[in-house]
Copies of this chain bind each other. A is one copy, B any other.
């Protein structure tokens, strides 16, 4: 697991020092670990589980701006406030650091900052891809894209570079959350899934699991670049 985590590539003594600074913590499904607008007091590494990163408007509208999986990083280093909330979608285990402690440790360990930079750049690429989806794609295309993305990201095991996209997987999201990721309502999500099922592109054995039956077709429908 450790090899993809933020600490990967550090010298053993560095890794040890970093380990001293963090503490493991379990969080239950539904629990929020970071609040939008609050002082940015902690950052963390995800050891296990899936979490959502979300932003909202005062009237309650919420957009999920990211999903975080095992070995991913959460929190806003080098910033006074957290621009978003982070909430566990499944039971999860985190390795938590005080933000200020992490910041100064990072500044003294260029290799760590380098890793963090690469991660942040990848995250930015993903955000851009999602902006294209939110700004220009139709409901069908959004659903298809999400299913392929979940298939790919849940297939990453963390060990080496095996990108086995899964053909059947359990969604860590309910319909409302899928809507909040895609900029759609719960009803539109449901309708689109029903259509894909009726067309034989996917199957939905139960409310949380998806089985991709015609990946090529799903890729066409996703309107990839």
Contacts and interface: CB of A to CB of B under 8 A. Distances in A.
Interface of A: 36-37, 53, 55-59, 61-63, 65-66, 76-79, 83-84, 107, 110, 113-114, 116-118, 120-121, 123-125, 127-132, 134-137, 180, 182-183, 223-225
Contacts of A120: 117, 120-121, 124
Contacts of A131: 55, 63, 65, 127, 130-131, 134
A103 to B, nearest CB: 10
Contacts of A225: 36-37, 55-58
B183 A78 contact: no
A124 B125 contact: no
Contact of A59 (B37, B62, B107, B223): B223
15 contacts: A53-B128, A55-B131, A55-B132, A55-B225, A57-B132, A57-B136, A58-B224, A65-B127, A79-B121, A110-B113, A113-B113, A113-B117, A117-B120, A127-B131, A131-B131
